[in-house]
Structure 1
Amino acid sequence: MKQAAQAREVDVLVVGAGVAGLSAATAAAWSGKSVVLIEKSDTIGGTAAIANGSIWIPNNDPAIANGFTCDLESQVRFILSECWDGFDESQKWCGVSKETFLRVDRYVKSGLRVARDLTNTRVQTFTQLDKIFKRYFFSTKDSVDSVRQALGPNHSRSDDELAKAACSSWDYHWENKFNKVPYGKHIWAAFDLRLAGKFFFSGFRKHLWHIVQNMVSIRSLSSLADQIPNLFTKFWGFGSGLILVERFRKHLDRQKVPILKRHELVAVATNGDRVTSVDVQTADRQTLTWKIRDALIIASGCFSHQLTGDGVQDSYSVKSSCVAPGNDGDAIRILKNADVQVNQNPRPVLAQTVIQLAKEKNAISHEPVFYFYGDSFFLVDRHGRRVMNEKLTYHDRAQHHVGNAEQEFLFLVCDRRFKERYWGLGIAVPFDQKHMIVGNNESTLHEEIDRELRDNDCDFRLADNFSANLRETKIAFNEFARTGDDREFGRGKNAFDVLGYMKPDRDHDAPSRSMQPLAGEELYACIYGLSTFGTHGGLVCDEDSRVLNSAGDPWNNLYAVGTCAASFLNGHYPSHGMSIGTGMVFGYLAGLHATSNTKRL
């Protein structure tokens, strides 16, 4: 293979070394043509390297082996109906644009072939984490009943099949009528002891002092016994995202594909509908010009970091982002003078963040609040009233912050038991529990929360009626937990409230599957604001990931993949794994298309 990095001329240049870029470079290299991958930062893997690493691919091979298969046409309609208000299956393209329909159709129907090709060539090995889900998520008391409830009375599955489904990973919106098999579609890079250990010990070293503090502060022997075996769960998975990235990197190294770090794309030259050359700036500020013979594939990430800060977006008062720092809209900026279609609406994928961490980390917080494990807690607004079923998915839960100044911040309120057990990366309570607020009762908690808001330069304050309403909210919630019926928001009636979370607390007598009464007068609180882990705006592409011009025609050799391309998810998130999944699949397909090698699949 040509050493294109020295020749300053290349068949395929890939920009961005996240999963989408790594996948694109892998596919392009099968052709034998020269491929170079550049990355402006000094790290490889982007956001995926620090993520859980789930990949949404229906009818994947591990699912088929487990007996989980679904109709792919229905899966196309599942995504479209969840993400587009204009969806109408009786209309052409189901009521959405042709480009949107074809991209969803391509993703759903090509995902298995991409994953299988990566497996057959030993680039990747994929698995489902059924053993992990059985160990940490499966409840003999609740899980099978929850699956039975979710699938409805007309299902024909045996109890053994229901138990197997309960040990699988579920889509977030299982109740959609097109989603008849709402589980088994997620795969992860198969376990690698060295890389999983690297992932775990990196987090362990970073948070060791916090972990020691948390363990020492535990007063209950039952909580201490609970925490020790669950320590691995504190780090948001087992490093599957890092494993995925490292396997791509090692393969490209074997294929002698250069990965040039600290090389930033700064300009693109075009002639008609073709990219002819690019300028790349190196770490020492030298500008290199490369002639592009076949294709430029841009995988430079989203523009989440353009959304952080006061007044950036009126609807989205984003306090932090958990994506890699380089995600600041490079592709849109570099191509601003080219004839390309750009969807400027960011439609961010949302979660929550602990506001003190957002401030400490200058709006880059890799401890977003994804999961509310545990039962003895609720969320309230500035008036001390609950506003939702707190077991909603992180993206749906975060919507309660959007477009409502009264709910710019929301407040977790919990008892000591919850505080002792549910801390860690991606979990409700941060590692560093100095960010937890404690009060002997509702009134002192009110005072302490306002003090914390002031100390963090927030103009936001609790309402005068906060403590009185909080007292009533706690009484009502405890009654709901004791009766097993959340008459306000139905928490626990949704099957995801059980199946999507770790085992419910079961050393108590409350009948609820997802609520436990808060014990004692002492209360703890945490302040949450809005966080983003991606955006859905970007360059508009066809189903082959070719960028479209203003007339709707595709460029000849300009591709966009990953989160720099406008997403068909349209600001929604029907299931985890769709960000990495679309990046990996469309990246691979773009690499094959750019090198006229589509028959490979």
Structure 2
Amino acid sequence: MSENHDFIIVGSGAGSFCAALVLRAAGKRVLIVEKADLVGGTTATSGGVMWIPNNRYMKEAGVPDSREQAIAYLDAAVGDHAAMPGASRERRAAFVDAAPQMIDFLVAQGIKLRRIPHYPDHYSVAGASEPGRTVVSELFDIKQLGEWKARLRPGFLPLPANLDEAMQLPLMKRDKAAKKVLLRILGRALKDKLTGKHRATAGQALQGQMLHAALKAGVEIRLQSPVSELIVEHDRVVGVIANGQRVTATLGVLLNAGGFARNQRMLDQYQPGVKSEWTSVIAEDKGEMIEAGLRIGAAVAQMDQRIGMQITLPPGDKTVKPNLDTSKPHCIVVDGSGVRYMRESGAPTDICRKMLDRHKTAPAVPSFMIVDSQYINTYMLAGSMPGPKKPQAWFDSKILHKAETIEALATDCGLPADALRATVERYNEQVRRGTDEDFRRGAHAFDEWSGDPLKADTRTLGTIEQGPFYAMQMYPGDVSTFGGLVCDVHARVLRDDGSVIEGLYATGTSTASVMGPVEGGPGGSIGPTMTWAWLAAQHALQGTN
């Protein structure tokens, strides 16, 4: 038995809903099949940030940007790589042209968005935007979803707080403005309780809005419907086998089913040394659709790339802890020989790549985040609030070490004491001179943004000299893989010889990213995911003209 639709979308990430809305606006029948029992994918659990160059919200705020500036930035930050066809100049230009149009389309569909006022691009190169090119969802009352509310994947922040507000909460003991932000958030939470609302934020808000719009538009969504096969007839993909049933599509199939960060077999093949337990993606992120594409002759590329995020692995807890505050003062990162080897305030993807690269010549997985009491009493550590009180299990399992001297800390960690002492002393000397001569920490806009906003002199440099001292194990985690099916400027999947597999489109982390070996800015995955989905839907509709 078979059924037919105009377009089939595999996976329920933000790009899936974006493509579905384009096609429904043209009156086409759209089916989304999702193998999980929840809607939203990893996007729903994320910050929901979209990197969108030259967007309408920048214009409204008077923030300068242009097509030329954005392309110059990607040319400088991403660069040209023969082995990275997903990040070709043609695809970069297509993304820059389409991204602001995609946002305008979503706004016309009633999706309420905004920009974070200050969230810099990751690299201080030609074309960079220090105010940033980020777009996020406004808060959204997920009770509007009715019975689908229970089917929307939960987010990471159970408060009605905008993402930029949530970023200020760690400062609330030190900053009056941050205390006011907390009171504003608590006021919203109280209002929601009194009025019966449930306002979500970040990725859950974005996906809540997209799901709500898709349901209103008449998109059919089927959960617990894993796809086992792409149906090919006469060299064209004409449908899928979902839940054992043949489902065909007149205009095409879009794959948006995530990467392979939860598939250890694929990681061993493409990213040796990386562990699936280091990832923050959902459990379903196993790369089946990338492999389905390979079975019908699709090309893959950039399979060694990942969107890094430094993490800590708590004992007895399967949930990794992001440990992003390596940019704060009074902190360095050293390898197993006690030597500092990176700019700790860089973009998370770069930090994790440096850990893996370093591990090829010196023990660096795990590395050690070395801090003193100035840090512990002021900043968060792996999600724990400032202060010396940390879970005892962290000390018992030796993911966190504490000692009165640097030498004793080194011994407890199994590091050479003389080497760690020399590393700390060299760093302290440079801090007192006001510059990181070894790695230029603090010389980039993103460094300053991710450091301590309340420090007047330097936001990311600070001596490590007040005991007791602490060392925390740090691993090269990720928020997904960044390689997959190779696509053209219309998001059509290609073969190794560059020919098009007719009827098959792909987007998101199922594809070789337009960002190549970097993440150009916050939201460097979700922004492109939605843009290529929009382009895929636009191209599919051309077949009806």
| Same fold flag (TM > 0.5) | yes
Distance (Å, rounded) in 1 between the aligned partners of 2:330 and 2:300: 45
Relative to 1, partners in 2 of residues 1:339 and 1:315: Cα closer, same or farther, differing over 3 Å? closer
TM-score in terms of structure 2 length? 0.82
Partner of 1:376: 330
Relative to 1, partners in 2 of residues 1:231 and 1:488: Cα closer, same or farther, differing over 3 Å? farther
Relative to 1, partners in 2 of residues 1:232 and 1:187: Cα closer, same or farther, differing over 3 Å? farther
Structure 2 letter corresponding to 1:534: S
Is the counterpart of residue 300 in structure 1 residue 257 in structure 2?
yes
Distance (Å, rounded) in 2 between the aligned partners of 1:427 and 1:169: 23
1:529 aligned residue (472, 475, 487): 475
Asked whether the 8 Å contact 1:316–1:403 carries over to 2, the reply is no
Partner of 1:160: none
Relative to 1, partners in 2 of residues 1:202 and 1:512: Cα closer, same or farther, differing over 3 Å? closer
Structure 2 letter corresponding to 1:342: V
Structure 1 letter corresponding to 2:134: H
Structure 1 letter corresponding to 2:91: R
1:548-601 deviation digits (Å, cap 9, x = unpaired): 1343222321111111111122222221212000111111221232233899xx
Asked whether the 8 Å contact 2:326–2:369 carries over to 1, the reply is no
Partner of 1:125: 112
Is the counterpart of residue 393 in structure 1 residue 347 in structure 2?
yes
Structure 1 letter corresponding to 2:286: D
Q: For the aligned residues, what is the CA RMSD?
A: 3.5
Relative to 1, partners in 2 of residues 1:309 and 1:231: Cα closer, same or farther, differing over 3 Å? farther
Deviation, structure 1 residue 78: 2.4
Partner of 1:445: 409
Aligned pairs for 1:206-225 (under 5 A) are: none
Distance (Å, rounded) in 2 between the aligned partners of 1:317 and 1:113: 37
Relative to 1, partners in 2 of residues 1:272 and 1:256: Cα closer, same or farther, differing over 3 Å? same
Q: What is the DSSP-based 3-state SS (H/G/I as helix, E as strand, rest coil) of the residue aligned with 2:239?
A: strand
Q: What is the DSSP-based 3-state SS (H/G/I as helix, E as strand, rest coil) of the residue aligned with 2:294?
A: coil
Is the counterpart of residue 495 in structure 1 residue 425 in structure 2?
no
1:121-168 deviation digits (Å, cap 9, x = unpaired): 21x1221122xxxxxxxxxxxxxxxxxxxxxxxxxxxxxxxxxxxxx2
Structure 2 letter corresponding to 1:440: E
Aligned pairs for 1:135-284 (under 5 A) are: 168-174=118-124, 176-177=125-126, 179=127, 181-192=129-140, 199=155, 202=158, 239-281=201-243
Partner of 2:148: none
1:469 aligned residue (419, 423, 442): 419
1:191-235 deviation digits (Å, cap 9, x = unpaired): 34779xx8576489xxxxxxxxxx9xxxxx96699996787999x
Relative to 1, partners in 2 of residues 1:516 and 1:549: Cα closer, same or farther, differing over 3 Å? closer
Structure 1 letter corresponding to 2:240: V
Structure 2 letter corresponding to 1:503: P
Partner of 2:191: none
1:488-535 deviation digits (Å, cap 9, x = unpaired): 3332233332134451446xxxx5442222353211111011112222
Aligned pairs for 1:315-354 (under 5 A) are: 316-318=273-275, 320-343=278-301, 345-354=303-312
Distance (Å, rounded) in 1 between the aligned partners of 2:31 and 2:314: 41
Q: What is the DSSP-based 3-state SS (H/G/I as helix, E as strand, rest coil) of the residue aligned with 2:278?
A: strand
Aligned pairs for 1:525-564 (under 5 A) are: 525-564=471-510
Partner of 2:93: 105
Relative to 1, partners in 2 of residues 1:431 and 1:263: Cα closer, same or farther, differing over 3 Å? farther
2:54 aligned residue (46, 59, 69): 59
Distance (Å, rounded) in 1 between the aligned partners of 2:79 and 2:46: 27
Partner of 1:147: none
Relative to 1, partners in 2 of residues 1:598 and 1:525: Cα closer, same or farther, differing over 3 Å? farther
1:369-407 deviation digits (Å, cap 9, x = unpaired): 334353121111222222122111211122221233322
Structure 1 letter corresponding to 2:470: Y
Structure 1 letter corresponding to 2:341: V
Structure 1 letter corresponding to 2:402: V
Q: What is the DSSP-based 3-state SS (H/G/I as helix, E as strand, rest coil) of the residue aligned with 2:314?
A: helix
Partner of 1:149: none
Distance (Å, rounded) in 2 between the aligned partners of 1:24 and 1:112: 15
Relative to 1, partners in 2 of residues 1:222 and 1:494: Cα closer, same or farther, differing over 3 Å? same
Q: What is the DSSP-based 3-state SS (H/G/I as helix, E as strand, rest coil) of the residue aligned with 2:498?
A: coil
Partner of 1:34: 29
Relative to 1, partners in 2 of residues 1:306 and 1:535: Cα closer, same or farther, differing over 3 Å? same
Distance (Å, rounded) in 1 between the aligned partners of 2:484 and 2:242: 21
Structure 2 letter corresponding to 1:109: D
Partner of 1:151: none
Q: What is the DSSP-based 3-state SS (H/G/I as helix, E as strand, rest coil) of the residue aligned with 1:59?
A: coil
Partner of 2:38: 43
Structure 2 letter corresponding to 1:295: G
Q: What is the DSSP-based 3-state SS (H/G/I as helix, E as strand, rest coil) of the residue aligned with 1:336?
A: helix
Asked whether the 8 Å contact 2:44–2:203 carries over to 1, the reply is yes
Asked whether the 8 Å contact 2:86–2:487 carries over to 1, the reply is no
Paired residues in the alignment total: 500
Relative to 1, partners in 2 of residues 1:494 and 1:388: Cα closer, same or farther, differing over 3 Å? same
Deviation, structure 1 residue 443: 3.6
Structure 2 letter corresponding to 1:480: Q
Asked whether the 8 Å contact 1:306–1:328 carries over to 2, the reply is yes
Asked whether the 8 Å contact 2:84–2:516 carries over to 1, the reply is no
Distance (Å, rounded) in 2 between the aligned partners of 1:98 and 1:549: 13
1:76-124 deviation digits (Å, cap 9, x = unpaired): 242133223459xxxxxxx9869823221111011111101111221x1
Partner of 2:6: 11
Relative to 1, partners in 2 of residues 1:491 and 1:344: Cα closer, same or farther, differing over 3 Å? closer
Q: What is the DSSP-based 3-state SS (H/G/I as helix, E as strand, rest coil) of the residue aligned with 1:379?
A: strand
Structure 2 letter corresponding to 1:120: A
TM-score in terms of structure 1 length? 0.75
Distance (Å, rounded) in 2 between the aligned partners of 1:427 and 1:299: 34
Distance (Å, rounded) in 2 between the aligned partners of 1:434 and 1:232: 32
Is the counterpart of residue 83 in structure 1 residue 78 in structure 2?
yes
Q: What is the DSSP-based 3-state SS (H/G/I as helix, E as strand, rest coil) of the residue aligned with 1:14?
A: strand
Structure 2 letter corresponding to 1:572: V
Structure 2 gaps of 5+ residues are 144-153, 161-169, 186-199, 395-399
| Identical residues among aligned pairs (%) | 22
Relative to 1, partners in 2 of residues 1:503 and 1:322: Cα closer, same or farther, differing over 3 Å? same
Distance (Å, rounded) in 1 between the aligned partners of 2:392 and 2:44: 26
Distance (Å, rounded) in 1 between the aligned partners of 2:184 and 2:235: 49
Higher mean alpha-carbon deviation, 106-115 vs 483-492, is at: 483-492
